[in-house]
C-alpha cells in the first residue's frame, strides 16, 4: 500500500489494489480507489472486513469523521461488497460533501471531489456501467491531474480500446 499526503489535513491512503491485501477478495481489475486515513472503519476496510467497516463508518459521529471521509469509506466498502447502488450513493454523497466542506480552500475541494469521482467511477464500472465510469474518470482528471486519476482513466481507455475496433479514414470504405 502506498500512502500519499495531501493538503486537506489528513493522510490519504491510495489503495493500490494490484499490490494490496484487497486483491484476494476484490475484483476491481487493477483500478485504484481512495480511502482517508484516520477515519472510523478504514482499518477494517483495509483488512477486508467490509461489513464491520461499514458499521463503524456509518456509526461515526461528526466529531469522529467529517462527512467526506465517512462517505469515501462507505463507497470503497460497498464497492468491494458488490453493493454498487449503495457505493454509488456514498460516492455521490462524498462529492456533495467535498463541495460543501467548510473552511477548505477551493483547490482542496477540487482535489477531494476528484477522488470521490474516481471512486464513483470504479463503483460504476464494477456495477457494469462503463459509460458513467468513463465520465467520472474524465471529471476526476479534469479536477486534479493526480496519478490515481490518470491511472484509472488510462486503464479504462485501454480496456475500451481492446474490445472496440478503432476506425480511421483508411479502414473505412465509403461507397456510392
The answer to whether residue 26 sits within a structural domain is yes
The answer to whether residue 35 sits within a structural domain is yes
Mean pLDDT, residues 73-86 taken together: 96
The answer to whether residue 78 sits within a structural domain is yes
The answer to whether residue 32 sits within a structural domain is yes
In the prediction, which pLDDT does 68 show?
94
The answer to whether residue 101 sits within a structural domain is yes
Give the total number of structural domains in the chain. 1
What distance lies between CA 86 and its chain's CA centroid?
14
Are 80 and 100 in contact by the 8 Å Cβ rule? The answer is no
- Work out the percent of the chain whose per-residue pLDDT is above 70: 77
The answer to whether residue 91 sits within a structural domain is yes
The answer to whether residue 175 sits within a structural domain is no
Report the SS3 class of residue 19. Answer: helix
Higher-confidence residue: 15 or 119? 119
Q: Is the pLDDT of residue 4 over 70?
A: no
Which residues form the domain of 106?
2-163
CATH, residue 78: 1.25.40.10
Are 143 and 121 in contact by the 8 Å Cβ rule? The answer is no
The answer to whether residue 69 sits within a structural domain is yes
In the prediction, which pLDDT does 103 show?
73
* d(C-alpha 79, C-alpha 93), whole Å: 14
Amino acid at each position: 500500500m502506498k500512502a500519499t499526503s495531501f493538503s486537506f489535513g489528513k493522510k490519504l491512503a491510495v489503495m493500490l489494489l494490484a499490490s494490496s491485501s484487497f486483491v484476494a477478495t476484490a475484483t476491481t481489475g487493477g483500478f485504484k480507489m481512495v480511502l482517508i486515513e484516520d477515519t472510523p472503519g478504514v482499518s477494517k476496510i483495509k483488512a477486508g472486513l467490509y461489513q464491520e467497516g461499514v458499521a463503524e463508518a456509518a456509526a461515526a459521529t461528526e466529531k469522529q469523521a467529517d462527512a467526506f471521509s465517512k462517505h469515501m469509506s462507505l463507497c470503497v466498502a460497498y464497492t468491494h461488497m458488490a453493493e454498487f447502488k449503495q457505493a454509488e450513493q456514498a460516492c455521490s454523497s462524498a462529492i456533495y460533501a467535498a463541495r460543501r466542506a467548510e473552511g477548505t480552500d477551493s483547490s482542496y475541494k477540487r482535489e477531494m471531489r476528484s477522488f470521490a469521482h474516481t471512486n464513483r467511477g470504479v463503483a460504476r464500472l464494477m456495477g457494469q456501467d462503463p459509460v458513467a465510469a468513463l465520465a467520472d474518470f474524465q471529471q476526476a482528471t479534469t479536477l486534479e491531474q493526480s496519478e490515481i486519476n490518470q491511472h484509472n482513466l488510462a486503464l479504462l481507455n485501454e480496456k475500451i480500446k481492446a474490445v472496440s475496433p478503432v476506425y480511421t479514414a483508411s479502414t473505412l470504405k465509403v461507397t456510392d
